[in-house]
Amino acid sequence: MKSVVTGVAGFVGSSIADALLKEGHDVVGIDCFVDYYPREMKARNLEGALANPKFTFLEENLLRVDLSKLLDGAEWIFHQAAQAGVRASWGDTFQIYTDNNITATQRLLEFVKQGPAQKTVKKLVYASSSSVYGSAETLPTTEQTIPNPVSPYGVSKLAAEYLMRLYATEFGVPTASLRYFTVYGPRQRPDMAFRRLITSTFVGEPFVLFGDGEQSRDFTFINDIVEGNLAAARASTSELVFNLGGGDRVTMNHVISKLEEILGKKIAIDRRPRAHGDARHTGADTSLARKHLGFAPKTSLEDGLRAEVEWVRSSLS
């Protein structure tokens, strides 16, 4: 099997690439190293893949790359490339989100719809987000819940997801959109809460907590997200959208307490007001993914936190 992974140097993209290579697949990865966080962090994510002869890397932008070269012979496409960040998506920077999250996705779909890839691509798996729900009224939230994003980032992810649905229903492009619920674990982005929390504790700085800490999230370990992606690529189901959540919906205050136990020290907290665009609660109903993809998260929150703690420790040494 030949696979293409967009955003391959990122947290999830690099993890998917490594899993595919471990299974013996040929993988082509593309990344343009947007400057949302330091390039050297993303470069480290690719070290294992680059040492594998079955991996080919293209440092190019999806908005300009020759898609016939990128997608030549591809059977699976894992579309992870996106401009990340809820808080950074307001104001003038929104253009970056429309370019990288919406226009790049449409360009990819348009090529698969009418190009040579139409004959070879068996599944295009898109990384959507629980941000499309906003502050959902019902928890756990099903895929039938009407999306109501509370950030421009969430709007951009939902728009791209709708494009996936349109090209599937109108042109038969085989797509699956996976709504990730707060992914954590080794390689997590430096702006995400767990990474900031663990790093600040190791370096002796207060952790900046936005809000009262009673906001809750459905935290999902990276290995479970990777398994969900591979299952979606293999599945023949006609369902187009799936929630991927870890089943561990807890408050940030609970996470802080759990990390204090793991680290054996008190964590200094710098409390700030709630940030614009942050949903109060998220929680995934994963019934559809369990039924059609066999999705069954295996990693508990405590085990996942311990894995991320050890990874951050080693990355700081």
Positions marked catalytic? 153
DSSP line for the chain = -EEEEETTTSHHHHHHHHHHHHTT-EEEEE----TTS-HHHHHHHTHHHHTSTTEEEE---TTTS-HHHHTTT-SEEEE------SGGGSGGGHHHHIIIIIIHHHHHHHHHHHSTHHHH--EEEEEEEGGGT-S-SSSSBPTTSPP--SSHHHHHHHHHHHHHHHHHHHH---EEEEEE--EESTT--TTSHHHHHHHHHHHT--EEEES-S--EEEEEEHHHHHHHHHHHHH---S--EEEE--SEEEEHHHHHHHHHHHHTSPPPEEEEPPPTT--SB--B--HHHHHHH-------HHHHHHHHHHHHHHHH-
Backbone angles phi, psi at 314, to 5 degrees: -70, -30
Q: Which two tokens stand for residue 224?
A: 């479970």
The answer to whether 243 and 180 are in contact (CB under 8 A) is no
Nearest to 112 by CA among 158, 59, 171: 171
Question: In whole angstroms, what is the distance from residue 7 CA to residue 13 CA?
Answer: 6
The answer to whether 267 and 197 are in contact (CB under 8 A) is yes
